Chains A and B, each alone.
Chain A
Amino acid sequence: MIRYAYLIPFLPLSSFFVNIAVGKRLPRKGDWLSLATIAACLLMSIGIFYEVFRAYDPNFRYHVVVPWLSVGNRFVIDAGILIDNVTAVMLLVVTIVSTLVHLFSIGYMHGDPRYNRFFAYLSIFSFSMLGLVLSESLFFIYIFWELVGLSSYLLIGFWFEKKSAADAGKKAFIVNRVGDFGFLIGILIIFSTCGVLGYDQVFQAIGQGKLSGTLLTLAGIGVFCGAIGKSAQFPLHVWLPDAMEGPTPVSALIHAATMVAAGVYLVGRVYPIFTPDALLFIAYVGLITLFIAATIAVTQNDIKRVLAYSTVSQLGYMVMGLGVGGYTAGLAHLATHAAFKACLFLGSGSVIHAVHSQDIREMGALRRKMPITFVTFLIATLAISGVPFFSGFYSKDMILAAALEFGMKHPQHMIFFLGGLFTAGLTAFYMFRLVILTFFGKPVDHHKFDHAHESPPSMWVPLVVLAALCFSFWYSGWFGTLIRKPASAANPAAVSSPAPAVPAERGLAPMEHAAVPAPSPSREPAPAEPGHGQAPSHGTSVAGEASHAAGPSAHGESLAEAGHEAHLAHQAHAYAMYSSVTVGALGILLAFVVYFFGWIDPARVANAVKPLYEFLLNKWYFDELYEATVIEGSKAFSRFLAWFDLNVVDGLVNLAARLGVFLSFLVGKFDNYVVDGAVNGVATVTISSGSVLRRLQTGKLYHYVFVLAGGALIIFIIRAF
């Protein structure tokens, strides 16, 4: 199965071409084609995952490359795919959510005039996303990165008749460009120093010291800029809430589960290139994002916007988790979040479909009308709130544990844990606010309530499947074993892979070459740092342990410290678990107190802290800030350029024109009198001399011969005598 993995992206691509070209004329407008191709991808992904799972090897790798483009020896780009445990999990996540969203869309988009185009766009998105997941070099991930951006643009602006949708599409695209520019700079830094773009080659080159120090940090931050844009991190998070203008299945697929997680995936993929400084930067970006987004989510009334800010906040968790060293935690949260957030979004789609409104103040008591939607929505909400036995608990707990551990080692950075903990409570609060206002209480708008009904099976089946995936037993155990933090490429002495990296070569096609082994300590002795003064061999035995929770300055730790660290990790985990459960419960309780029992009137609270409320309701005035600075700034700059163009440039041009006219006048005079005079003079001389000389041309042959012979004779005589 795994040897056919390269086929996976091409199935949706073929479906895209068919649907965009002749989809309208196919039976059922071609939705079955898109669904069938993505389902085939799902089956293949399950097969791959099965193989990976059966191997149960943290270092599992399947790496195939074929030469694709080579200009001389310097510029060589390979095409290929790389499947390790992270890829396999990501493939599974993408294909499951994508398949369910396809299924959901059949019901949700029913009757849309551009039904076939919608499925075509979904297909090209699936193609790009799967290609992104499978790519083995920065070059190809960048290509697919832009392709997912394109499909996101197309799908956000799918109802482009609506101005807000068209604007949101543009906004998403432009904001993403900002991040992608940083990504490109990062790639170019890496390429210009290392000369290669494949992940393994880059890690190896960095291990050899071709790129290090500040430049490496900058390259890491540059690459992370791509993630900032795509994963809607502060300060480029503004596009994601607006992207909710797209159809709800799109929001579930692209803007909750998969594409926005691509940034996190990218960070995970290139994790070894990040220096401690870069990781700290990443962690702070994540922290700021998760806090800001959660506070905004508390005040929003649009069901999809609440979910959107919640998505931003959860992405912040993942990024922070990766930043503080919780590699497994961040990626686990990616997977669990994909399931419960897709469930939430599809549930909200189901609600919107039923009541034709997105304002939660117009809903209420829907649990009686839509029992399946309610139950699944509730399960997903429990998951995101971090209630035990649900998936969110498992992953968020790991992130908080990682943050606490980081804080214990570096007390000045304790804020990661505190901020994350506080926001966990906030998350539980605003999510239950959403659930209570939507499904509990009394119907607010009776007209809408009466028309509400449960959705068709094609819509609730995905909900049930996704809700089933919200339980933690799906993830616990194997996830932590299979997905391990990779060794940092920059300081190979401090870390080591637990076993020598064995390239997965069983039953592979002959064209692939062995994966580049990770830098192993036996091969590369530790750089002798004067401060530590320890034998280079010392780090190797410890490194396996240390690497699991290696902080930025972990290399060269002593054995006792490693033991201490393991203890620390265990302790941190316990603390984090207790505190997060407590805080989550508090949040839920508060939500019930305020919105269910009505003991505290939210309006009065809002009035009491009116400036804060306004501030949050207006999303920290980010849009206004960008409007005032970036947009107004560029407008003012444009006006200045227009003025400059009108007055200075045009003035110069006009001056040049006047000068040209004057010069032309002079040149004309000169031409008339001097040049023409000279030409006419030459002509006159030629004519008069010609009329004289023509007499020499008698046309008589013997004259010519005579002159010829006579001339020769004269020359002879002169030469001879």
Chain B
Amino acid sequence: MLTDWRFWFSVPAVLALGVVVLFPTGFLFWMSVSHWILTEPGVYFYGFQNFATLLNSSAFHSAAWVTVSYLVLSTTIMLGLGFAFALALSRPGSPGYLRALIVMPLVIPPVVAGFTWRFLLNGEIGFLGAYLLPAIGLETNLLASPVGALFSIVIADVWSRTPFMFLIFLAALQSIPRDYYEAIRLDGAKRFQEFWLVTLPMMKGAVSVAILFRIIDALNTFELIYVMTKGGPGRATQTFSLLGWKIAFQGFDFGGAAALGVVMVFATTIVALIVFRRFMRSA
């Protein structure tokens, strides 16, 4: 039977993903309950000590706060910009190269995005930080102040990741049936009412998908922050992934870092479930 044969075609891929995703995730849980210091010999069961230490540390609390503020700030700006870009380019017949140009930051290495913005915003030599911003009376070294550094990272991230939202919104906008607009126009709706009563409600599903992927993306953001501020000044831009890297590869505490990894897995799962429940059903 043909179908049976073809089923086996999926086995190598499933096995490969088992090795690089499934097994590691399972192993992470074991690591998180182990006393596992890279520089010390011996790994032993440690119960929930890693979690207790982690959840009580001030570094974790500040990372939670930084991650959430960075997430909220960047997501809000990206949603707005991505929507605006998509509306401007959704008309059939907009040239394809325009779309590709707008999407370009998404295919540039995020390390390069981080470096470029660090260069632009530098308070001594940067075009924006040392020339343009002072020219309009903003004499601050953004990257050196805690709030400024967070904003700098948000700006660079917005530059790098807004195209993803743009793509989701563009696809959604183009799939809204033309008839809906015609129908509401026959009822005498103004442009703004068309937008409010047709476009926005039809975009609900796309917005929730965009937010979901954005949250995952934001939890994964590492190199941008690493290149721009390394988490500083102080802990001002130290998100969960930066903190995890520091615990594992500067403190050599693999158990503690794994505990943070487990917390991140749970956080993502919970958020994903909420978003799915709340929006996907109605969409």
Partners in one complex: no
Residues of B within 8 A of A (CB): none
